[in-house]
Amino acid sequence: MGNEGHMDVLESYRIPLSILEVLHQPGANKYQCGMSQPGGYCWVLSDQLHIWSYSDNSALRSLKLPSSVSTSSKVHVCVLSKSHSSVISVLLCTKDGHLAVWLDANYLSEPMVSQISTHQQHVITCFSASMSDLLSGPGFAAAAGTDDGSWFLVSGSSQGVYVKQLGGSSTAPQETRGVLGALGSALSWGYKGYSEAFDPSVKYFKRSASGKPAISICSIQIDVNRLKVYVMSEATVDCWLLTIGLRPSEQLLWSFQNTVVARQLGKLQGEVKNLALDASSQHVCVWLASDSAEGCTVHHVQRFLVNVEGPPVQDYCCLVEGYEPQGSVLAVNGGKYRMYCDPEEDNCLLYGPDNSLAELRGASSGRPCIHKLASDPDTLAASSVSPHRWAVLNFTFGPLTADQEQQCFQLLDAVTNQAVLSRQQQLPLPLSSLVAGLHRRLDGLGALSPLSNMGVFAKYSSHLVDMLPKQWASGSPGSRALRAGGSSFADQLAEKEQRHGSLLACLAEAGVMVSLTAIVQRTLLENAEKLAVASSLLAFQNQHEAAANNSILMFVQSMSYLVLAFTKHQASSPRDTSSGPLLKALLERAGVLSSSGSYDVLRPIEVFYARPSASTLNLLQAVSEAAAEVDRQAGGGLSHPGDQGAQALSSQVAALGEVLGCMVAAASYRREACHKVYHLPASQLYSKLEQAGWLSDVPGRTAAATLAAACVSVRHLRDFDGVLSLARVTFGVVEVLLAGFAAAVAALPIDSKGQLVAEYQNTRQRFVSVLLDDALGEARSSAGSAVDGSPSRDILLWQVEELCAAHHCYQQVFDICEALAEMEPQVHGSRLFQHLATATLEDGVPASQTMANYRLYDEKRHTELLLIPAEFNVALRQFLQQHPDLLWLHLLHTSQFSAAATTLVHNASCQGGRPDSFAHQRHLICMAKLAARAAGDSGAETEMETSLRLMHERLGLTDRAAMSTAEIVDTALSMDSNSELQLAAAGDAGGPLLAVEALAVCSLEERNANSSRWEQAWRQVLSATDWEALDEALAGDSNGLSATLECTPLYRAAAMCCGSKCFGFGASVTDSRPIEEVVGWLRSWTACASKRVQGLVMETFEEALSHANMARGASYQGAACAQATSPGAADGATAMVM
């Protein structure tokens, strides 16, 4: 069965060779094929009717057709059988109604021939049959639907074939009159109207057959003598109960308008049509199609429950989402749409006109889901086999049989052997000529279609890698040679690598490699890597000089930092001979974990090299176990009996690091080679599969993390003097660990990386900080001993810096740059900026979290932060959006004066709550004014903010947060009831004047929003002066009139409004409206006063306007005179203005 997706619900069967020969004859594309659900029989109709059981291809029968039967048009075939009987009944019905019946196809006798309909216009559109249990012998009952709405019951036995027409116009029920005559007829129609009014089900159920052309027909056996027949038209489903035997009868149980129910209850739109039907003893399923709002066709599946004689009840009507078969919905009469119900489960198989197969599951539970199973033009038929199992008749679909798999193995063996021989003998034979036709031959064997069959290549690859040579068996000469020198291991591994490499080369050259699924390609790639790992470990174990010439070993020695670290560790510490036994113990442990079946005859170390596909993975587990033991001893402070010394544990972690580094380096070398030579890109494969490689997956990361923890535990042992040498081993292990995390994160989709990224970050923080401390200590020691004070180029710090930059360890990179700049300021002063320019963003981490941004700001090194090179201005400004206290300085530094002014005003509005806040606010406002002037702005906003800040000071509110204009006005107007505020403003003209000033300096929109406060402020300004007393004081002294009026709050308020451009001047009424509004208020508020007081108030207001700006006053005079001539103007107001 298939291994991918939902292919496991399909069960495919091969066609017998004789049938394949028939299907490959000229004109075979016109042959008709099908499957009969009961009994599991398939049939192909050519010039004969070929029948076989798909579970037993040997039971093949070829039935000769009678001369009266024409196969040029659509035919219907039913193959009937019973599990308790060997009888096989075959019925063949043509489009024009000719019926051929073989009551028992086991006997090659002539069939019984009959004519279902004698009417020439009848066209058989659907046909269904079931076997009857008769005492006299085999029998059947069948139903045939026609295109005129009628259908026929056909029953047969050894006594003959009997046909009876049911439904249709010729058998429609006729109206009959009772004994009451016309009155009885009227009463019957009245009863019918009563039913339709009071019985809601009448609109769904009819008591007469639909009379529409039948699209599908299905017969279900209830018991020995009864069966149900479901006849489906485009809009309805009719159910008939038939009784056969000695007393035959036919009864229409109901005619169900299922499309109306689907449209109303299922809320389907547009025209709804039935496409296909299938039924069981308890339910009926219908495949429907309707129009969506977008104008396209959508498909639904409707199921309703049935019992023996009662009406149906809709169970569900669900949307078949994601399944769009290609084909015309209008051509449903051709049987293009087919449907098969699971006999026991709530599943159904949809078979579209484009041969697409899909299974609907879980609809009754309210969570329907559609699974696309296959879409193959070679699909011939389908049927239900068992719950959750569907049988498909297809040329190429299905898993390979054992014989076919063996044929594929033999073909691949022949090709790879020829390629190996050609390479060994250096024959001038191109590989393309060796693999000519390989793709075609593999396709012919079914290895390339469908996708599930491609597993044969992965199986053959593993077979080559884990091949067990005969000379490796225990007691053989080869085994004794292995125990003596181990050369046979190297020979056998080399042979495996050569054969497996030839396999990959042949598949790539033949174009097969690119056709394989990603999971098969991954198996081929990882098998090649595991072989390389086993060969490299064998070379290290043998310690032969000849092995040093091996290309993989040379790559390991040049690229694996773990091997170099181990070499330096050996040179700087006493010679320890425990590494050899430790390596052997690891290999034996992996061999024990890998031993099974035929490998039991080998020793554990022999199993390791004989079965690399499993043993290399198990070696990671062995390394984890050994590292965990070292971590346990070192973590306990060597206080338990049997614990080894610090130097011994240090040598063990170095040896474990050597093994891990050898595995990673050999696998990386082989991976790069496979990418270049065989077109196997590992990163793309793992991204497609959304999985990490075998070394980057959980076992590999666990081994590296456990070993890194063991290194850290050994480092912290008391009196351990090999910290620097151990640090190099730790670096190699951490490098492998972080590389594994990076590869695993890159393979996962974006929405699934969160948890792994968090684990990746925690691992970096745990090990890189310890590694950096050792590297910095070595660097400072190297710089202190150097003549010029510069660190040596071979210290560990340079490698740690590169590791941190590659894995987004921003804090550690910052510390490294700081340390290097401290050692050599002239050389490394700009090193941090170099990393900033090349730093890449990490998945799931905000862009603002860079090494310079948060470290320089957190350490309050603001000057250095603001003076970073100009190429980082965009990122710096984005970061400083969260810190506006520095943002305005950066904006000024980059000549963005307008944005700086806006930021300064915002900062000033946010200050307050501390004693020096007001002074700081004034300072920020002044800076904002300067920035606005530098940007060429008028500075109106900053002017307003400055005035508001000054009002805070005059109100004595410098210790409070910045208030809005409305809050300032309310505070100023309440000064009369607040002695503390009144004392604070004692040197001023009072709160009302401050309120007028606050609203005068704000914008027109804000002043209109506070119109009630604006009016209240002017009222209090007018009330602040005792005008009666002032009039009496000025009665005898007219010389000091102007000086006296200038001291009044009304005069000062009007003059201030003129200076703040609150009052408009000009020829239009709109410009003079603010003044007219205040004049109207003053006249209304002094209406009850004497004429002298009224004139004095208006004279004070006029004097303020005139002395504030003569030009504006003159303009205002002209506007006022123009208004005075308008109808309804007050004479008193005109005189006052003049």
The predicted structure's pLDDT at residue 1031 = 83
The predicted structure's pLDDT at residue 996 = 84
pLDDT band at 706 (very low <50, low <70, confident <90, very high): very high
The predicted structure's pLDDT at residue 979 = 39
**CA 319, 321, 323, 327 torsion-angle sign:** positive
The predicted structure's pLDDT at residue 295 = 72
Question: 398 exposed, middle or buried (CB, 10 Å; 0-12, 13-18, 19+)?
Answer: buried
> What phi, psi does 488 have (nearest 5°)?
-65, -35
pLDDT band at 1130 (very low <50, low <70, confident <90, very high): very low
CA distance 131 to 16: 27
How many CA atoms, within 13 angstroms, populate the side-chain half-sphere of residue 447? 30
* Amino acid occupying residue 648: A
pLDDT for 317 beyond 70:
yes
pLDDT for 180 beyond 60:
no
Token representation of residue 975: 């000064």
pLDDT for 670 beyond 70:
yes
* Amino acid occupying residue 266: G
The predicted structure's pLDDT at residue 945 = 62
| Better-scored residue on pLDDT, 871 or 1052 | 1052
Per mean pLDDT, which of 94-103, 187-196, 849-858 is the most reliable?
Answer: 94-103
The predicted structure's pLDDT at residue 563 = 42
Beta 356-361 vs 369-375: how paired, if at all?
antiparallel
Helix (H, G, I), strand (E, B) or coil at 346: coil
Mean pLDDT value of segment 328-333? 42
The predicted structure's pLDDT at residue 872 = 78
| Better-scored residue on pLDDT, 981 or 324 | 324
| Better-scored residue on pLDDT, 1055 or 548 | 1055
pLDDT for 1129 beyond 60:
no
> What phi, psi does 380 have (nearest 5°)?
-105, -40
Which H/E stretch holds residue 53? strand 48-53
Question: 519 exposed, middle or buried (CB, 10 Å; 0-12, 13-18, 19+)?
Answer: middle
Mean pLDDT value of segment 1050-1063? 80
CA distance 71 to 47: 8
Q: What percent of the chain has pLDDT over 90?
A: 17
pLDDT for 62 beyond 80:
yes
Helix (H, G, I), strand (E, B) or coil at 377: coil
pLDDT band at 956 (very low <50, low <70, confident <90, very high): low
Mean pLDDT value of segment 490-494? 88
Per residue in 220-263, pLDDT tens? 888 878 888 999 999 999 998 888 877 888 888 889 988 888 88
pLDDT for 1122 beyond 70:
no
Please answer whether residues 865 and 852 qualify as being in contact, where contact means their C-beta atoms are separated by less than 8 angstroms. yes
Count how many residues are written for the chain: 1138
pLDDT for 177 beyond 50:
no
Q: What is the mean pLDDT of the chain?
A: 77
Instruction: Look at 298-302, 427-431, 914-918, 1004-1008 and tell me which has the smallest mean pLDDT.
Output: 914-918
Q: Using only C-alpha atoms, what is the Rg of the chain?
A: 48
The predicted structure's pLDDT at residue 742 = 92
* 561, 838, 1078, 1130, 1137 from 1126: Cα distances, Å: 99, 76, 19, 10, 15
Q: CB 818: neighbour CB atoms within 10 A?
A: 15
Residue carrying structure tokens 């050996």: 570
What is the side-by-side order of every strand in the sheet holding 347-351? 338-341, 347-351, 356-361, 369-375
Mean pLDDT value of segment 498-524? 92
The predicted structure's pLDDT at residue 306 = 87
Please answer whether residues 776 and 817 qualify as being in contact, where contact means their C-beta atoms are separated by less than 8 angstroms. no
Per mean pLDDT, which of 246-250, 368-372, 414-418 is the most reliable?
Answer: 414-418
Residue carrying structure tokens 């994160």: 745
Q: CB 61: neighbour CB atoms within 10 A?
A: 20
From the list 236, 240, 260, the residue with the least C-alpha distance to 249 is 240
pLDDT band at 977 (very low <50, low <70, confident <90, very high): very low
CA angle 370, 374, 379 (to 5 degrees): 135
Per residue in 806-848, pLDDT tens? 888 888 888 888 888 888 776 666 777 777 777 777 766 666 5
pLDDT band at 6 (very low <50, low <70, confident <90, very high): very low
Omega of the bond prior to 450 within 30 degrees of 0, cis? yes
Mean pLDDT value of segment 597-618? 85
Of the chain, the end-to-end C-alpha distance in Å amounts to 107
CA distance 674 to 536: 17
The predicted structure's pLDDT at residue 744 = 92
pLDDT band at 552 (very low <50, low <70, confident <90, very high): very low
The predicted structure's pLDDT at residue 1037 = 67
Per residue in 639-655, pLDDT tens? 888 888 888 999 999 99
CA distance 497 to 502: 8
The predicted structure's pLDDT at residue 982 = 42
pLDDT band at 566 (very low <50, low <70, confident <90, very high): very low
Helix (H, G, I), strand (E, B) or coil at 319: strand
Token representation of residue 617: 């993975």
From the list 840, 843, 669, 835, the residue with the least C-alpha distance to 756 is 843
Return all residues near 532 (Cβ < 8 A) that are at least 6 apart.
Answer: 497, 552, 666, 667, 669, 670
What is the side-by-side order of every strand in the sheet holding 226-232? 205-206, 249-256, 237-243, 226-232, 216-221
Token representation of residue 964: 């809005």
pLDDT for 192 beyond 50:
no
The three state secondary structure string of 8-41 is HHEEEECCCHHHHHHHCCCCHHHCEEEEECCCCE
pLDDT for 614 beyond 50:
yes
Per mean pLDDT, which of 269-273, 404-408, 509-513, 1115-1119 is the most reliable?
Answer: 509-513
From the list 536, 528, 530, 570, the residue with the least C-alpha distance to 553 is 536
Beta 297-305 vs 237-243: how paired, if at all?
unpaired
